[in-house]
Amino acid sequence: MATSSEQQHTTKALELATQALFLSNPNPRVGCVITSPDGQVVLGQGFTQQAGGPHAEVMALRDAAARGNNSLQGATAYVTLEPCSHQGRTGPCCDALIGAGIGKVVASLADPNPLVAGQGFARLRAAGVEVVVGPGATESRELNIGFFSRMVRGTPWVRMKTAASLDGTTALANGQSQWITSPAARADGHAWRARACAVLTGIGTVLDDDPQLDVRDVATPRQPHLVIVDSQLQTPLQARLWSVPGRSTCLIYTAVRDEAKKAALESRGATVIHLPNAQGKVDLGAMLQDLGRQRAINELHVEAGHKLNGSFLREGLVDELLLYQAPRLLGPGLGMAQTAPLQSLADGTALDYISVDRIGPDLRIVARVQGRDRF
Ligand SMILES: NC(=O)C1=CN([C@@H]2O[C@H](COP(=O)(O)OP(=O)(O)OC[C@H]3O[C@@H](n4cnc5c(N)ncnc54)[C@H](OP(=O)(O)O)[C@@H]3O)[C@@H](O)[C@H]2O)C=CC1
Ligand SMILES: Nc1c(N[C@@H]2O[C@H](COP(=O)(O)O)[C@@H](O)[C@H]2O)[nH]c(=O)[nH]c1=O
């Protein structure tokens, strides 16, 4: 049972971790608070920086030094994930904490990476540091659901976003869809793009909308990667998606081997990956494995049309829905997802509502496919 002081410092560490939401990908969002041994004084605090930059613990140690708190002997570090014990792009945080004289570490969770899980705690304990694990575990895992998904399942957390009228239409039969939802809801959608490692769409949407699929309506330190599902390599060489400042990576998954088209797209900076399925389309399951294992994608933000959405749902690849609903009826048109008619109500996809919010005049619903977060 955490004391109220432990809870207070853990809450603060979680708040700090949230500040890494758009920043630390593909590293986890972690916060750290260092207090005096009696918990009365906060000596330093920090959160994970961009990949390759300092982790939360190092930021908190630096903050303590900047505040003139040079002796941390016996101090307590509250950290929302197990401190690392391995040499990655930065040095091991455990060694930094031990070297600074930290006497106790209160960590929310063990690192989900099976290659390193528990090693940080073992190293701290071996150096005589008291380790408590647990406070803030649920919140920290939720904040890092994509990182946990990639580490445990090997695939990203798949969040499918759609913007529809109240009667579920995402585009008119003639393809018109801009705009169904309000500027406020679209800006909110950009914030969800910003927290994802990658935004994914289908070639149908690329050809119909000439979209940018970047983050423009909220401030962000980095652009998510773009992923296009394009069996026949029809992505145009002239399109708005190529001129997004700061976007480093465009991955195009295809079902054809066409070296000329591939070279042309690669000359625009794309990486073309050949992953066909038996129907001559892109193998979406294999693509998710590739995105998780080879490209370090934690959260995948799917913003596609009804055909690709239908395939994702039919194949059971969706974890969460992010649905914006405008207070408007549009009648028949393209729905959220093209799926085959069911024979029984029991065959429907069961969801849990996570949140329902009003964004400007629209509704935002976050719903989770039942059982998908149990990994
Ligand atoms: N309101 C909203 O939230 C949104 C609306 N839209 C609207 O949707 C419309 C476009 O919809 P749609 O044509 O369905 O576009 P999609 O973005 O769903 O792309 C569909 C295409 O993806 C390709 N594809 C490759 N592999 C697969 C696979 N395994 N399963 C399914 N498709 C695959 C197919 O083309 P190929 O075989 O050539 O590769 C298919 O035609 C536009 O009008 C757009 O404005 C789009 C996004 C969001
Ligand atoms: N029509 C529609 C959306 N459509 C989505 O936004 C994409 C355009 O993105 P961008 O080019 O970056 O502005 C488009 O291709 C489709 O995926 N989104 C919404 O929030 N509300 C809307 O009403």
CA of 310 to the centre of ligand 1 (A): 9
Same domain, 53 and 132: yes
**Half-sphere CA count of 305, side-chain side, radius 13 A:** 22
Residue nearest to atom 9 of ligand 1 (CA): 305
Q: Which ligand is nearest to the CA of 211?
A: 2
Q: Choose the residue to mutate in 181, 231, 258, 274 for probing ligand 1, maximizing ligand atoms within 8 Å of C-beta.
A: 231
Q: What's the pTM?
A: 0.97
Same domain, 179 and 137: no
Same domain, 46 and 106: yes
pLDDT for 70 equals 87
Same domain, 138 and 162: no
Q: Choose the residue to mutate in 281, 309, 312 for probing ligand 1, maximizing ligand atoms within 8 Å of C-beta.
A: 281
**Residue positions in the annotated binding site for substrate?**
177, 193, 213, 216, 303
Is residue 277 domain-resident? yes
State how far the Cα of 31 lies from the Cα of 11, in Å rounded to an integer: 10
Same domain, 65 and 112: yes
pLDDT one-digit tens code per residue, 37-85: 999 999 999 999 999 999 999 999 999 999 999 899 999 999 999 999 9
Write the DSSP symbol of residue 171: B
Nearest to 200 by CA among 160, 169, 237, 238: 160
Who's near 119: CB < 8 A, 6+ residues apart? 85, 86, 111
pLDDT for 1 equals 63
CATH number at residue 232: 3.40.430.10
Residue nearest to atom 22 of ligand 1 (CA): 202
Same domain, 248 and 356: yes
Same domain, 120 and 195: no
Is residue 207 domain-resident? yes
Indicate the residue among 124, 144, 164 that finishes a domain: 144
Which tokens hold the place of 138? 């649920």
State how far the Cα of 273 lies from the Cα of 287, in Å rounded to an integer: 9
Residue nearest to atom 1 of ligand 1 (CA): 170
Beta bridge partners of 221: none
Beta bridge partners of 171: 334
284 lines ligand 1 (CB under 6 A): yes
**Residue positions in the annotated binding site?**
55, 84, 93, 163, 177, 179, 193, 205, 209, 213, 216, 231, 303, 305-311
What is the torsion angle, in degrees rounded to the nearest 10, for the CA atoms of residue 64, residue 67, residue 68 and residue 70?
0
Sign of the C-alpha dihedral computed for residues 164, 170, 172 and 176 taken in this order: positive
State how far the Cα of 76 lies from the Cα of 81, in Å rounded to an integer: 15
State how far the Cα of 95 lies from the Cα of 189, in Å rounded to an integer: 40
Residues with CB under 6 A from ligand 2: 163, 177-181, 185-186, 189, 201, 205, 209, 211-214, 303, 324
CA of 207 to the centre of ligand 1 (A): 9
Nearest to 103 by CA among 71, 81, 135, 80: 71
Is residue 278 domain-resident? yes
Q: What angle do CA 146, 152, 155 make, to 5 degrees?
A: 55
Per the residue annotation, which of 6, 15, 57, 315 is the catalytic one?
57
Instruction: Transcribe 23-74 into DSSP letters.
Output: TSTTS---EEEEE-TTS-SEEEEEE--STTS--HHHHHHHHHHHTT----TT
pLDDT one-digit tens code per residue, 138-187: 999 999 999 999 999 999 999 999 999 999 999 999 989 999 999 999 99
Indicate the residue among 144, 171, 187 that finishes a domain: 144
Q: How many helices (H) and strands (E) does the chain have?
A: 11, 14
From first to last of the 375 residues of the chain, give the pLDDT tens digit: 667 888 999 999 999 999 999 999 999 999 999 999 999 999 999 999 999 999 999 999 999 999 999 899 999 999 999 999 977 766 799 999 999 999 999 999 999 999 999 999 999 999 999 999 999 999 999 999 999 999 999 999 999 999 999 999 999 999 899 999 999 999 999 999 999 999 999 999 999 999 999 999 999 999 999 999 999 999 999 999 999 999 999 999 999 999 999 999 999 999 999 999 999 999 999 999 999 999 999 999 999 999 999 999 999 999 999 999 999 999 999 999 999 999 999 999 999 999 999 999 999 999 999 999 999
Is residue 149 domain-resident? no
Is residue 374 domain-resident? no
Helix (H, G, I), strand (E, B), or coil: what is residue 308? helix
Q: What are the Cα distances from residue 106, in Å, to 45, 82, 103, 109, 124?
A: 14, 9, 10, 9, 11
Q: Which ligand is nearest to the CA of 321?
A: 1
Same domain, 184 and 305: yes
Burial class (CB in 10 A: 0-12, 13-18, 19+), 95: middle
Same domain, 139 and 195: no
Same domain, 190 and 302: yes
15 in active site: no
pLDDT for 157 equals 98
Is residue 150 domain-resident? no
Is residue 151 domain-resident? no
Indicate the residue among 112, 144, 176 that finishes a domain: 144
Same domain, 181 and 294: yes
CA of 373 to the centre of ligand 2 (A): 27
Same domain, 121 and 35: yes
Residues making up the chain, counted from first to last: 375
CATH number at residue 44: 3.40.140.10
325 lines ligand 1 (CB under 6 A): no
Instruction: Transcribe 181-222 into DSSP letters.
Output: S-HHHHHHHHHHHHHSSEEEEEHHHHHHH----S--SS--SS
> Domain total for the chain?
2
Q: Which domain holds residue 334?
A: 156-339+346-369
State how far the Cα of 216 lies from the Cα of 178, in Å rounded to an integer: 16
Write the DSSP symbol of residue 136: T
Is residue 176 domain-resident? yes
